[in-house]
Structure 1
């Protein structure tokens, strides 16, 4: 039942700064009425477009489409963020109910024959409409969207497409919820601090605090991160505990999500066939910068042999260290531990010694924000007067060099039982000149909460993640486009990771590292010799990391290259065969994600797109070289990168943006050098 306008904070635009959602007023019972009214309002707006007696014009059709769905957009951005960042049983139940309804709503728009006829008429006359470049691209993108959504199919095929889309939405939601539930359930509960030997005192204290929060008083709990190889494997000295931790990680959701993965892959293959593609992978990549299955396959195939060879050399070195401890055969749960041991011996670099120099607040303010000031002139002011969606979600106002307000940034850095694993960026308000919106973005991480009164000390990988996710945030904050369809990170999936990966370079820039890497007690800078050893050790372990990643990317590719009608009997057997065929059946290196908890591809937007990370890294490595060798100041280079790429969103072809900045097509050699694959 739709409530009254005055009852629901979603029914009118927020009056807060930059339309920050009024989280203090939003309650779970507001979501369903807002979704229902939002869908009804948008369908009424679509009906008004198709009922217009005037001939279709860019304004009365395409711009009207862009203006439609304001309420639905408002509630969906907030709901999606809560569902990933601070979910509850009620939110999950609503997600399961709404997912197929929202899929049906999208189909009602994209499969509306009268609406598509208007878009098609404009598209066919596009050269005579006198549109500027951004408007022309918007028309072309809408036409592509309608076609890829099935607007040209017969009525019978469209009906089957609707059924497929509804089932896919339901199954993806179930997959995601199963991963979250089993990730919680399989957290490793330990009885004594001795079992955590090797972890730092603050990490042991955090495990005790985690146990208290999760109802395991006087126990120590290691909650699982979303990826396979848990970070504590590198420090835990007890081999049996390491084995239990990895077993808990690798075994997630096998019974529930194996069958779901098979069905999701089959439905996607059937949908691709309906739309005229040989596989879901072919359907996806046709609208990405890669352009073809052959291009992706060739890049991945080029990387696999060198990565496996590199990992083999590393394995031999680790096996020697393991043998000295009486370990006969290097197992998957041993790799990270002995890798850290060899790293310490080879480079005199103990990762645990680094953590006191990476205190969260200092890394955030004197590292991440400082780098954004150097490159782009930004400043940040925390706004405790503005309420986030959770007590951990802090709100910062972002200012330009001239003092004008650019937008809002929310930082939600700590792990909790209600949050999904991993790290990500969401938009709460999308920038658009047409709608008069400024950007509001949020970064989510999963850093363990410390014991009360203790500092939050980061690992080197967590520092990297903080810089990475802020790169996504900058992509959203710098958006300067006219139309919502192009806002911020609305770019091809195999391009979206590029700006975030580029932003990682600031963590090791000497002027930035020196500004934030200071001991949290003494304020002493990270010693120069440690900095030098960190640089020397940067390529250590690249074989493992590249094989781990490629195994996940090629597993995704295998699932989504299956043609319609091919039956898969068992998900784990399919996974093993796919890895063997790709040359990546390396028992000691599990894929970064195994099938049954690979949420990126089965419940998020990365299906047949996980290759995007390394495809984007080609652009990233090339751009980092450009930053260091173009003869400009950091500020000048930052402004060029912002103006030519970060601000453009999807309003310009992605690779044209790259060429506008770097001045040429991308080259793969910088990536190969970075990964130790030359």
Structure 2
């Protein structure tokens, strides 16, 4: 086993950090940053730096003084939330935002960056990656309000602070709503249709959350939550229509005034009642108003234009892509819904007579898929045990990218006993290239929903330890998959498998960069609408036969996934594609409409009316009156996807086209797959943000991206030709 080299990063002592540590550490970091920016500004004013090492290296070190400790606190808040940690986070957040603005708006630093771009000799001495880093710093400073003065600058900073606070509050409200809901069933008839895996998880939840120490999967009681594995199981499998309806309505009402009827706790009921602090509706209106004002201060007409300043696409091109996909997906989605209705009617469903409702469609869609392809989701689950899926995923990465992933559990502290730690080895040199954490399971009491990857530290020569030439990168991958139950390992749905591959793709781009210029290494400065390329690319392998035989091993017999199940899985891949893509278009088109044309000021109801107007084009069934999905749409109101949710579809064009290169090489030709994988690693993964994403893609593919592969992979080509 390779030992950590002198390039290994110094990693956080996760389990040792308590909420009491936060304020002293963060305030000390803030003080240090303020002192250092003062010193840098003085030095730059007295003598304008004319080289990379004099200008950019000090700025990179300065940036990490605050971003690293604050990143640790932010991460812990997402995976180990508590009231004490929230309080410490909220107390420190204004000082962190102020210090960050101070650095981002430094005029002496900005002037030095601009001067470097105009110094022909100095500019010519930089690598292409270094030039891009400087250009991105200049752009980011402009978007941070560096050119503003006086009252305008003060107002910009006030907006930045308030937006940061609103984002945190929005996210907290969604987590609190998810935690507040629980529905307990005590009669076996109430849980009819639910698979054993869901009943096992519901019984375990009844023990841990409901205090029912004797709960069993066979006899109950069973507790269901709004956490993804529980919610999706009810929606897809519960014959109990009333249960489906309650869970569906509660999920869409999260963090809104409509959520109160779904909770029993008096404090939670008050929080989510009308005018309660847990309602995200007024926060949405305020966020949109502040973003519009921020855009105006920066000289832009809309916040969408601010967002697009850091992306591959323009607003017109993004909306053109969305409309193209919407037009092709809608006819398919209409046919899919009619087929579901007809199937439910043939099955004698009582609800088919009165008309299927939204909480019926998921259930009958799953029954149709099972009948059509003779495949049940639960037939696959025993074959996707997390340990084997991880091993197969690592083996694939080794074949494609020349790496070996080794378990390094126990080498470092982790934030929860379930968290794993791994070392990535370069096979050619047998030396470490990177490290990463994996937090795989749902923990609704303390961990926010969804799945994400983020950096712990990035590859950097400027931040190299004293004993190494470059600091190696480290990432963390966080999922909310089905946890182990009793003696069984985590048995995953195929969707959970693709989610894991997705996050691993993000991590690979961060970890396998060969760029040592820290500001553009790995995921740094990768345009937001290109950042999903490697993640969505990795999802394609979840339907490749060789890969599925590696990751699909029965948890009891270790037998590989049978050919008949594989064939059924592949055949069912595009089931519901029209509906799925139409839904993505709805999210993305709503996002752009709110940030490009919506005018705040008419109140939160106007926001929901705007969404409903878009739904006329992007939804087949009308939404229910109390639908407040936007109140839980953290991607655009508490994450990085504001005026950027279209990035998922934009990047999917890139990823599908990229996987097309492997298909053209021949997926059964191991030598050509490895050769194509090396080219992918040498471009998409290695270059990171060191080159513009279109240039990176063109270097890999030999041409600009085309949408054909996306349409072909998802069965939408016949619709396009019709």
TM-score range, shorter chain: over 0.9
Using structure 2 for the length normalisation, give the TM-score: 0.88
Indicate the residue corresponding to 1:8 in structure 2: none
Tell me the alpha carbon deviations over residues 320-354 of structure 1, each in whole angstroms, 9 at most, x when there is no partner: 12222122212111111111111122111111111
* Superposition deviation, residue 567 in structure 1: 3.4
**Cα offset, 1:24, TM superposition:** 4.1
Partners of 2:705 and 2:568 lie apart in 1 by 30
Match of 2:494 among 460, 477, 481: 460
After TM superposition, the structure 1 = structure 2 runs for residues 394-409 of structure 1, keeping only pairs within 5 Å, are 394-402=420-428, 403-409=430-436
Residue 388 of structure 1, CA deviation: 1.1
C-alpha displacement of 1:376? 1.5
Correspondence for 1:28 among 19, 22, 26:
19
Cα distance per residue 1:257-288 (max 9 Å; x no partner): 00101100110011011111111111101220
Question: How far apart, CA to CA, are the structure 1 residues paired with 2:203 and 2:460?
Answer: 46
Q: How big is each residue's C-alpha offset from its partner over 1:287-311, in whole Å with a ceiling of 9 and x where there is no partner?
A: 2011x11111111111212222111
Q: Is the 8 A contact 1:551 1:592 kept in 2?
A: no
What residue number does 2:350 align with? Answer: 326
Specify whether residues 252 and 525 from structure 1 end up closer, same or farther in structure 2 by C-alpha distance, changes over 3 A only. same
1:270 to 278, 287, 293: 293
How has the CA–CA distance of structure 1 residues 485 and 191 changed in structure 2, closer, same or farther, with 3 Å as cutoff? farther
Where in structure 2 are the equivalents of 1:608-647 lying within 5 Å? 608-630=643-665, 633-647=672-686
Match for 1:391 among 403, 408, 417?
A: 417
Cα deviation for residue 559 of structure 1 reads: 1.8
User: 1:595 is matched with which residue: 621, 630, 640?
Assistant: 630
Quote the Cα distance in structure 2 between the aligned partners of 1:399 and 1:21: 21
| Other structure's SS at 2:434 match | strand
| 1:193 CA displacement | 4.1
CA 563–133 in structure 1, closer or farther in 2 if over 3 Å, else same: same
Which residue of 272, 295, 305 maps to 2:317? 295
What is residue 506 of structure 1 aligned with on the other side?
541
Q: Residue 430 of structure 1 is aligned with which of 458, 477, 480?
A: 458
1:548 equivalent to 2:583? Answer yes
Mapping 1:504-583, distance limit 5 Å: 504-562=539-597, 566-570=601-605, 573-580=608-615, 582-583=617-618
Provide the residue aligned with 2:308 in structure 1: 285
> In structure 2, what is the Cα distance between the partners aligned to 1:60 and 1:450?
52
Q: Decide whether the 8 Å contact of 2:405 with 2:425 is kept in 1.
A: yes
User: Contact 1:406 / 1:438 at 8 angstroms: preserved in 2?
Assistant: yes
Instruction: Give CA-to-partner distance per residue, 1:202-249, whole Å, 9 cap, x none.
Output: 320111111211134144222224699734311111111111111111
1:190-339 equivalent positions in 2, closer than 5 A:
190-217=185-212, 218=215, 219-225=221-227, 230-255=232-257, 256-290=279-313, 292-323=314-345, 324-327=348-351, 328=353, 329-339=355-365
The range that moved more, 187-196 or 201-210, is: 187-196
Q: How does 1:138-149 map to 2 (within 5 A)?
A: 138-149=133-144
Question: What corresponds to 1:109 in structure 2?
Answer: 103
Please give the per-residue CA displacement for 1:557-609, whole angstroms capped at 9, x wherever unaligned.
Answer: 12212466653442663344342464436327999992100011111111111
Q: Which of 362, 376, 381 is residue 350 of structure 1 equivalent to?
A: 376
Distance in 1, matches of 2:379 and 2:364, equals 17
Give the match's secondary structure for 1:412: strand
Contact 2:553 2:560 in 1 (8 A): yes
Mean Cα deviation higher: 82-91 or 114-123: 114-123
Q: 2:49 aligned with 1:56, yes or no?
A: yes
Partner of 2:178: 183
CA distance in 1 between partners of 2:395 and 2:512 (Å):
17
Q: Does 1:118 align with 2:112?
A: yes
1:648 corresponds to: 687
Contact 2:585-2:618 at 8 Å conserved across structures: no
In structure 2, do the counterparts of structure 1 residues 129 and 409 end up closer, same or farther at CA, with 3 Å as the change threshold?
closer
1:447 to 459, 462, 481: 481
**Cα distance change of structure 1 residues 147 and 44 upon mapping to structure 2, 3 Å threshold:** same
Residue 489 in 1 paired to residue 558 in 2? no
Q: In 2, Cα distance between the equivalents of 1:350 and 1:227?
A: 16
Structure 1 residue 527, shift from structure 2 partner:
1.7
1:376 aligns with one of 401, 404, 415? 401
Q: Deviations over 1:375-428 (max 9, x none)?
A: 122222222322211111111122111321122121111111210001111221
Q: Is the 8 A contact 1:229 1:592 kept in 2?
A: no
Q: Which residue of 1 aligns with 2:156?
A: 161
Alpha-carbon contact 1:38-1:69 (below 8 Å) kept: no
Structure 1 equivalent of residue 274 of structure 2: none
Structure 1 residues 257, 474: closer, same or farther in 2, change over 3 A? Answer: same
What residue ranges of structure 1 are gaps of 5+ in the alignment? 1-13
Question: Do the aligned partners of 2:76 and 2:415 also contact (CA within 8 Å) in 1?
Answer: yes
1:60 Cα offset (Å): 2.5
CA distance in 2, matches of 1:483, 1:225: 40
Aligned partners of 1:497 and 1:612 also within 8 Å:
yes
- Alpha-carbon distance in structure 2 between the residues aligned to 1:535 and 1:588: 31
SS at match of 1:493: coil
Asked if structure 2 preserves the Cα contact closer than 8 Å seen for 1:443 and 1:470, the reply is yes
- Which of 67, 70, 76 is 2:64 aligned to? 70
* 1:19 alignment partner, SS class: coil
Counterpart contact for 2:248–2:359, Cα < 8 Å: yes
| Distance change in 2, residues 1:16/1:391 (3 Å) | farther
Contact 2:358 2:621 in 1 (8 A): no
Q: Taking structure 1 as reference, are residues 582 and 62 closer, same or farther at Cα in structure 2, changes over 3 Å only? A: farther
Q: Residue 18 of structure 1 aligns to a residue in which SS?
A: coil
Is the Cα contact below 8 Å between 1:427 and 1:442 reproduced in 2? yes
Q: Secondary structure at the match of 1:451?
A: coil
**Aligned residues, how many?**
663
Q: Look up the match of 2:710.
A: 671
Q: How far, CA to CA, are the matches of 2:604 and 2:242 in structure 1?
A: 33
CA RMSD of aligned residues (A): 2.4
Instruction: Name the CA distance, whole Å, in 2 between partners of 1:267 and 1:295.
Output: 25
Work out the CA distance in 2 between the residues paired with 1:238 and 1:228: 15
Deviation at 1:126, TM superposition (A): 5.3
Pair 312,570 (structure 1): closer, same or farther in 2 beyond 3 Å: same
Asked if the contact 2:27–2:95 (Cα under 8 Å) also holds between the matched residues in 1, the reply is no
Secondary structure of residue in 1 paired with 2:476: strand
Partners of 1:432 and 1:480 within 8 A in 2: no
